[in-house]
Amino acid sequence: MEKNIAIVINSLSFPFPAGLDENHNPYLDYIKKNVGFNVRVELPPVPSYEKMIDTIISMEQNHPDMININSPIQFAKFVTQNKLQPLDHWIDAYGADLKRLIPEELWNRVRYNGSIYAIPSGQLVKANEVIYIRKDWLDKLNLPIPVTLEDYKAAIKAFSEGDPDGNGKRDTYGFTMMKDLYHSSPLFGAFGVQLNQWTEREGKLVYGNVLPEMKEALSFFAELYRHGWIDPDFPIYRSNVMNEKIIEGKVGMFSGAWYDSRGVIAQSLKKDPQANWITIDYPIGKKGKQGVGALNPVFGYQVVPKGSSHGREVIQFLNFIAGKGRTSIVLGFHNQVWDWKDGKIVSKFNEHDKHLYRGMYSALVNVDKRWLLRARNDSYGKKFRLNDNIDKIEKNVVQDAYGGPPPLTMVRKWNELYSLQEVFVKIILGLESTNSFDDYVKRWYESGGTQVTQEVNDWHESHKK
């Protein structure tokens, strides 16, 4: 193989087994054999990935041929800086499977002034969170499964004050979440809003963060915090710390990922086999609102920097991952990682876990082959109810009403507008009064939000069917 392309991608923290790495493994060999050229992979450190991409794209020369970008704001910034190549010509010539499998909804999010600047990788599931609750704690405290938001509050209070673990101490919490209010979406959904999401009101799109319902939701969380019913350290939690609290039996309810039944829940059960975790329906608010916020439909953006002369090969590489190579890269190699048994896929877990790293390649072009996702989930064991969790999510997902690329003013003003949002956690912690929300709304509009709202509505109007 004389041709070479160099790509920079996110490892997604997948490990490699001894003797293998990002450039020496059977899955990359499989891809190279089928596309007919070499692929050299670089994996910047995950914690500093976004900063490293900024550095790489700003270099005067020696650009890689493809860069995997995770942030929509970073992608849009590079478009506005004229750092990226439009890809329409290469897609038309060499991307038949990309065109066939990627929906227009995703292409709309990578198109500026009529040109496509990235191959979008889609989300495999439209949203992420389901509610997990300790049924054994409910039973011990003679509580029904909560349905309404008020029921949820009653359970959260009881889990904090009723000594559900029976150790005679007040050392449990009804609810926990993470820094930046991650893992809280269903509770916001009971108020009819979602963080950082656009919604339609009276025919116009409005940013959910500035609506009165957002103030009501923050007041609700502030009440939980004030009474000591929510883990007080949540503002500093990353997922590993939050998971430790769950495993240790200190939390009775949380909004977790649909696949946590195979992760932190399984670890909790290993530590305490009596921990009876179940998933329940999302809380219903006073006005009948309910739901979980959709993820950005684009999981990642595969771009070709201006300095590359291998746009053709990049599209051929991604087209193979999306099309002919998809099943082997997602499931692993047949007979090695999985096999058919009674008409169903059965995973060989030792081999499956050994080659998890293949996920960093498949994630470059996630496409919605639903049978593949469901078959893979069931192969892990139906006891985890992964597909049931996905069904629950997709029946209740609240879509973002805006379907375009990041507005240009949002790109320029993102850091300033996002930093204003710090007041949300301060309101919950009681460091600011709920009335400071009104000042946040005023400052958001004055700091560029008015123009962002105009640009969002202009795009929305021009793309109405």
Question: Quick one: 4-124+298-381 is in which CATH superfamily?
Answer: Periplasmic binding protein-like II (3.40.190.10)
Choose the weakest-confidence range: 49-53, 112-116, 378-382, 398-402. 378-382
CA 42 to chain CA centroid, nearest Å:
23
Q: Please determine, for residue 350, whether its predicted confidence score (pLDDT) is greater than 90.
A: no
Which is more confidently placed, 61 or 249?
A: 249
Domain ranges of the chain: 4-124+298-381, 129-293+407-462
Q: Are the CB atoms for 249 and 134 separated by under 8 Å?
A: no
Q: Please determine, for residue 465, whether its predicted confidence score (pLDDT) is greater than 80.
A: no
Q: Are the CB atoms for 78 and 406 separated by under 8 Å?
A: no
What proportion of the chain, given as a percentage, has pLDDT over 70?
A: 99
Give residue-wise pLDDT tens across range 226-270: 999 999 999 998 888 999 999 999 999 999 999 999 999 999 999
| 205 beta partners | 200
Q: Please determine, for residue 189, whether its predicted confidence score (pLDDT) is greater than 70.
A: yes
In this prediction, residue 34 has a pLDDT band, given cuts at 50, 70 and 90, of very high
Dihedral angle sign, alpha carbons of residues 76, 80, 86, 88: positive
Q: Are the CB atoms for 190 and 283 separated by under 8 Å?
A: yes
| Average of per-residue pLDDT values in the chain | 95
| Residue 7 identity (one-letter amino acid) | I
Q: Domain 129-293+407-462 adopts which CATH fold?
A: D-Maltodextrin-Binding Protein; domain 2 (3.40.190)
Query: Mean of the pLDDT values across residues 395-399?
Result: 97
Query: Mean of the pLDDT values across residues 296-315?
Result: 96
Is 129-293+407-462 the same fold as 4-124+298-381?
yes
pTM of the model: 0.92
Among candidate residues 329, 312, 302, the one with its CA nearest the CA of residue 25: 329
Phi, psi angle pair for 363, to nearest 5°: -70, -10
Choose the weakest-confidence range: 23-37, 48-62, 273-287. 48-62
Query: Rounded CA gap, 41 and 21, in Å?
Result: 10
In this prediction, residue 464 has a pLDDT band, given cuts at 50, 70 and 90, of confident
Q: Are the CB atoms for 150 and 243 separated by under 8 Å?
A: no
Pairing of strands 38-42, 198-201: unpaired
Q: Please determine, for residue 2, whether its predicted confidence score (pLDDT) is greater than 70.
A: no
Query: What is the reported pLDDT for 417?
Result: 95
In this prediction, residue 317 has a pLDDT band, given cuts at 50, 70 and 90, of very high
Query: Mean of the pLDDT values across residues 348-354?
Result: 83
